Chain A
């Protein structure tokens, strides 16, 4: 890997979120709580979402441990989720995933906000899973919320 790739991976904004994560902590009264781990590397997070009646995120927090990429990514994600509907949140996850797979267009999308700082991760294939850990939790959370809303799965 080149110097440029490395400095784009470890941007100040990422290191700053790693050192001072936003929205870190438990969320009493969370609508949904998802634990997600990467068994290969041991990184893990617990994502808490509080949704209102219209599936709008009132609050998002996490606790977890892991590398700078996984922890900064989930920190930035929680900032971005506040006020979004579940559909908007899932669209954000899809957009972020496109950026991780190298889409330049996605990397220019202002909807991603600070998360765009993570675009350098796409040059490090073994680290993409780290950046996606929080979004994997988000997708699992959406699935659970909706399966609950549909009532117990049946016939």
Chain B
């Protein structure tokens, strides 16, 4: 620290230069970003849907298939040993990434959706009864709504909803009145996929536990962007997807406290998940394998482990600072666009997601015209129809940023919007 403060404008421009240098270094790691779309360098702003993959992840998967592939566990030969080590080694990496002390608390799934379905099915089987209550919010992705609707219908339980405020924050002032002696589970997102809102999980966890309920966190948008420490968050379940954090599709992880996993019934039956099979009954393997029936997605696990290593190498603090700089720049520039409506809270309460509408052009037309300029955004309800209903809109356009996006990408987005206005007036 020195006493002579630089003018705010200069500081902001320094931060932007640093962010752009950071993104330029990261972009070199991502082969898919080295291409043109519509005759211009691709600007990929659809990261909340899925991120691109660095060479480190692609190579880890290729290396596994080229050298080490066999079915995992129980094999008596060299490749089975290597495949098992790669699979369980990846579990240790993802456990570390999530701040979990015990890798046995990490269950591999197909993604966040399956992780939540696993809990909604296996946990509810034993612990959810008629008249019990589950608290959700209208901010949730459908993957954290529909599994609970199914579970509640099976058990005769009741769903209650935490509403949002005008900027898309959870109305936490209403939480105490929603929590009742019948509340068994509270399931909330860490970060809203449609708005980018970051929810104060630790604060919520305290209230949920004081009410005697459990907290599941949908971390699909949290794990890619925020440092995750499940112990500090204080939740009971945390679900994440590989493909939203530089890893492959078809793989994800459920972290849960060991005693919960031990109390839960299996999710699916089959090979790998048993200890002894008799004619009329079986006994279960220890956690986490009790929840991993069938030959698992070993290559996917290896890829997600490599993605966790890659992001750890980048550093969560550096990533967060970078995303904040790009997000602030985007919010500033977009706010100045004539006829735009921006959704979501201020930059210091959100991740790099910006949902918006232009007053004359529909979100899909915006996305098509931006695509013609090589700018990839998403348009629609973002699998969050309750968020759209909250704001009274059918759809929004959404730009979402990651480590390889810079302020020039934001400029290209804004130029594209000028073009939309030229067409739609």
Contacts from A to B (Cβ < 8 Å): 1-3, 5-6, 9-10, 15, 40-44, 65-69, 124, 126-127, 130
| Nearest Cβ on chain B to A130's Cβ, whole angstroms | 7
> Is there an interface contact between B38 and A2, defined as CB atoms closer than 8 Å?
yes
A-B contact pairs, 19 of them (CB 8 A): A1-B371, A2-B372, A6-B372, A10-B365, A15-B423, A15-B424, A41-B379, A41-B381, A42-B380, A42-B385, A66-B364, A66-B394, A67-B363, A68-B365, A124-B368, A126-B368, A127-B364, A127-B368, A130-B364
Please name the residue on chain A nearest to B369 by beta carbon.
A6
- State A41–B361 Cα separation when bound (angstroms): 15
Interface positions, chain B 355-376, Cβ under 8 Å from A, are: 361-365, 368-369, 371-372
- State A127–B371 Cα separation when bound (angstroms): 13
- State A2–B36 Cα separation when bound (angstroms): 12
| Nearest Cβ on chain B to A85's Cβ, whole angstroms | 33
Cβ of B388 < 8 Å from any Cβ of A? yes
Instruction: Pick the contact of A67: B364, B371, B385, B423 (CB < 8 A).
Output: B364
> Is there an interface contact between B395 and A41, defined as CB atoms closer than 8 Å?
yes
> Is there an interface contact between A42 and B38, defined as CB atoms closer than 8 Å?
no
| Nearest Cβ on chain A to B416's Cβ, whole angstroms | 11
- What 6 pairs across the A-B complex have the smallest Cβ distances? A67-B362, A67-B364, A42-B394, A1-B372, A6-B372, A42-B395
| Nearest Cβ on chain A to B142's Cβ, whole angstroms | 11
Q: Give every chain B residue within 8 A of A5 (Cβ-Cβ).
A: 372
Please name the residue on chain B nearest to A44 by beta carbon.
B394
- State A130–B425 Cα separation when bound (angstroms): 21
Please name the residue on chain B nearest to A9 by beta carbon.
B368
Chain A CB within 10 A, most for which of B362, B380, B381, B423:
B362
Cβ contacts B172-183/A at 8 Å (1 or 0 each): 000000000000
- State A36–B395 Cα separation when bound (angstroms): 17
Q: Give every chain B residue within 8 A of A69 (Cβ-Cβ).
A: 364-365
Please name the residue on chain A nearest to B381 by beta carbon.
A42
> Is there an interface contact between B361 and A68, defined as CB atoms closer than 8 Å?
yes
> Is there an interface contact between A67 and B372, defined as CB atoms closer than 8 Å?
no
Please name the residue on chain B nearest to A68 by beta carbon.
B365
| Nearest Cβ on chain A to B182's Cβ, whole angstroms | 33
- State A130–B365 Cα separation when bound (angstroms): 11
Cβ contacts B136-149/A at 8 Å (1 or 0 each): 00000000000000
A15-B423, A42-B394 known; A67 and B365 CB under 8 Å?
yes
